[in-house]
Amino acid sequence: MDGGKSPAHELAIVPEGMIADLLTRKASFDAVEKVFAAMASGDAVNFPVVREALGHEDALYGFKGGFDAVGGVLGLKAGGYWPHNLERRGLINHQSSVFLFDPDSGRVKAMVGGNLLTALRTAAASSVSIKHLARKDAKVLGMVGAGHQAKFQLRAALETHAFEKVIGWNYHPDMLPGLGAVAEEMGVPFQAVDLPGLREADVIITITSSFAPSLMAAHVSPGTHLACMGTDTKGKQEVEAALLALATVFCDEVAQSVTIGEAQHAVAAGLIGAEAVTPIGAVINGAHPGRTSDDEITLFDGTGVGLQDLAVADAIVTEAVARGMATLVPL
Ligand code: NAD
């Protein structure tokens, strides 16, 4: 149809600067929990990830896309890493935008700033794992990592579970006071520890950009839940591969977990097979029991999938349109 006969259609634009106002941690948590469940039941699929070196500005650029047939969400996140942004332009180095499409007609529906959204959806993933896999009586939260993303992880975890204390270790110890300030701002005491000190933790979140393991099996007590969130690329590694053989391993998506996630090393070393890794959506759906004893170590390998971005972007657009904050462009 054309010549003015096509049904009215608008593109909703929600810029980066509005995301903080529009997206609560709770909305992000709910969207991620729901889409993990849809992925495990086969109702939502992630498409193969494209990631390319541009040969310009030393940038890495790519797409993460997917389709959630139940949620009616189709789209992609485009963006990547421009290492010179901060020094040359005063911009953050990670840049991304989400585009949503009408799954019935293929017409573009929305364009949403993707930077804060990425941090919040990643924090939501570890929190979803804490809700479904940590012991209910967990009291001490351990943090490995104290960079940009660690603060988001910490805030979300403290909102999800009533931890009494946060302990933290970081490769660059000078960064720990910044993380401690977040814990204290949320009314929970913080203590810097050495790696063996993490044995006190009931839940440990790892969120570093490391290519060699910091957290060893000897640093983890029985009954701990680990959320390993930093490893999202081939070669990165945060925890000793032997830990995955000791733990019951869960992930966002098995294909990513065993190739670019923390499980890549244990699988390559023959310590576990891909069939030992369960999508957390199966626990959310009730198809897998999750933790079955107080002594069990559970490990969530969060690699970051496109459907997380799309689910959260869709929630943002709904909220922005409802509050009259989206710019609507007739197409
Ligand atoms: P950042 O640069 O702000 O912080 C990096 C952290 O890693 C710091 O704590 C730093 O001290 C630590 N670190 C650096 N070198 C280390 C080493 N050799 N050994 C141990 N620790 C080391 O980065 P960020 O934005 O906080 O991101 C952290 C990681 O999370 C990155 O690897 C990023 O790609 C990943 N990430 C994953 C997802 C996901 O969905 N899983 C989403 C966003 C970011």
Ligand 1 site, CB within 6 A: 118, 122, 145-150, 170-172, 175, 207-210, 214, 229-230, 232, 236, 302-304
Q: Which of 34, 64, 77, 236 is catalytic?
A: 77
What was the pLDDT predicted at 8? 77
The secondary element (H helix, E strand) that includes residue 312 is helix 306-322
Determine contact, residues 280/250, Cβ cutoff 8 Å: yes
Q: Which pair of tokens denotes residue 262? A: 């923390």
Identity of the residue numbered 306 = G
Hey, what domains does the chain have and what are their CATH numbers? 10-117+307-330 (3.30.1780.10), 135-304 (3.40.50.720)
d(CA 274, CA 126): 21
The band of 3, judged by pLDDT with boundaries at 50, 70 and 90, is very low
Q: What is the pTM of this model?
A: 0.95
d(CA 180, CA 39): 35
Mean pLDDT, residues 46-60 taken together: 94
- Confidence check on the interface: ipTM exceeds 0.90, yes or no: yes
> 1 pLDDT exceeds 60?
no
CB atoms within 10 A of CB 11: 17
